[in-house]
Structure 1
């Protein structure tokens, strides 16, 4: 198994702050941030103990490609990607919501629906749906952006009522979310995939709304293979998918859903390797490009050198 990076502890000249997310280490400067995509993996809002080789590179490079491919829809935070695991960009003030958009009844939405709920984040769902069915139209089901612990489902009405986002800004976020999902759906279809659901995060920089974080990666999105989708639905079979859902299902089958009192099961080496291979598979399938494994022998030093060079540049 090649090297993997679980966390970083750099001290850069001019650094104003540091934030450790579930997956990313964020180094803050006066007007910019340097974001290191580590190989950490999270599920049910819990960071799992073992890092996944090349996962950070996969996420960083997919996000870079699709941020560039959607820059005509909404401006984004990126100014450069000086390393396979690093993105540098504008320091935006993030909105405290994640804009989740769903075109199909899958994952969390399917679990809620199976439990009898027909109202998800204030959006009514029709009776008679099966898991993974296409919804009549894409729906936005926002979540709160928690600094710690679990993100929580929230309705548009609650967001506006609590003043988390202004009505004017929320209308723009909705418009951007639908347009980005439509573009992501088109790109996925060209590669023989279905973009099932995904999430977008936004922030403000100098009064303007920007798309931030990552987009259309296996951490933020769920993909089905288009081939066989209709037949699988007709026969009630599981859909073949490229996403992090298989990790969640493995955890569920091993008695873990992130609930109080539950312990994270030990992931065997073979499963860590399988996760790495699945992430690389998604990279190649969704981008249509061959994944080139970066040198991981001195991974931390390579990353530090790239950021320092960018700061001086």
Structure 2
């Protein structure tokens, strides 16, 4: 199966291009962004060597769906999705921090907690908590927005303000929007029989207004548990059945890779790649509540170019 791992488009009026870990972002006339969700997959801040068929389509369509479903909370950058793997939207000046919100103690936060740490990003965590336990209230644990090739780093609210990364007034709005978006995501997930465990949001500024940018509530940026099995598994101390790309991280860790110096990514056989693709389709259908309609992948680049060019003629 074909997978889109690299792009090299030249759109009319194109003024810049940025190749991220997963998305390639083309700037048009310094005002619009054409964001292509590729089939690349990253874990531990490392882009893995093989692409995952249909992954980009799934991520883009989930993000587009949730951007539309939360537009009443905060304005967002999306204008249209002219291709299954593309969103076109407004160019904003991104804030240099990512807003991570956690409803449960798991993932990297659990690994940190298990090592004896009781404060994450300036937020104190009580003793005696167990893996996957729900926090009394969701907590915000921001990170820096790292440049390509560098790891995001935990940062506290006080450090963000003291370093002048975000003004006090704007940061208070970012916290407010983060919590409201998380509550909306939690409500939508509950209707699907899911628990939104944790997620991240990125924000930008345009004409003096805050916008939600990038992706939202996708399995790359979020973690979901199943409602019907959560309590029983938690009480037994067993691993939660979850919807996220954590299963990719776990496979890597089981094979000796955590993104550290000297470690090599394990071989991604065709069976491994196909299995990850199937898991992503499961994620899509559970999170969106819709059946996944596979796009034509005979020539992905040609399809994207035609659809984007046709759309840009209308704006």
Shorter-chain TM range is over 0.9
Alignment gaps of 5+ in structure 1: none
Q: Which residue of 2 aligns with 1:312?
A: 313
The normalised TM-score by structure 2 is 0.98
Q: Deviations over 1:61-91 (max 9, x none)?
A: 0000000000000000000100000000000
Structure 1 residue 312 displacement after superposition:
1.2
Q: By how many angstroms is 1:93 displaced? A: 0.4
Residue matched to 1:20? 19
- Counterpart of 2:37? 37
| Secondary structure of 1:40's aligned partner | coil
Q: Does 1:10 align with 2:9?
A: yes
Deviations 1:42-63 (A, max 9, x none): 0000000000000000000000
Q: 2 CA distance for matches of 1:114 and 1:94? A: 33
In 2, distance between residues paired with 1:129 and 1:267? 36
CA distance in 2, matches of 1:129, 1:102: 14
| Structure 2: gaps (5+ residues) | none
| Runs ≥4 residues deviating over 3 A | none
- Paired with 2:194 and 2:275, the residues of 1 have a C-alpha distance of 21
Give a deviation string over 1:258-277, Cα, whole Å, max 9, x none: 11121111112111111111
Q: Distance in 2 between matches of 1:226 and 1:268?
A: 33
Give, in whole Å, the separation in 2 of the partners of 1:168 and 1:246.
38
After TM superposition, list the pairs within 5 Å mapping 1:138-177 onto structure 2. 138-148=138-148, 149-177=150-178
Match of 1:283 in 2: 284
Residues 1:132 and 2:132 aligned together: yes
Deviations 1:107-133 (A, max 9, x none): 010000001100000000011111101
- The SS at the match of 1:36 is strand
1:287 shift after superposition: 1.1
- Tell me how large the CA RMSD over aligned residues is: 0.6
Q: Is residue 92 of structure 2 the alignment partner of residue 92 of structure 1?
A: yes
Aligned-pair distance for 1:304? 0.7
Shift of 1:12: 1.3
Tell me the distance in 1 between the aligned counterparts of 2:109 and 2:185. 20
Q: How many residues of Structure 1 are paired with residues of Structure 2 in the alignment?
A: 312
Deviation at 1:193, TM superposition (A): 0.4
1:245 counterpart = 2:212: no
Q: Does 2:296 align with 1:295?
A: yes
Rounded to whole Å, the distance in 1 between the matches of 2:99 and 2:71 is 18
1:101-140 matches, within 5 Å, as 101-140=101-140
Give the C-alpha shift of residue 32 in structure 1: 0.4
> CA offset at residue 228 of structure 1?
1.2
Shift of 1:3: 1.2
Q: d(CA) in 1 for partners of 2:33 and 2:159?
A: 31
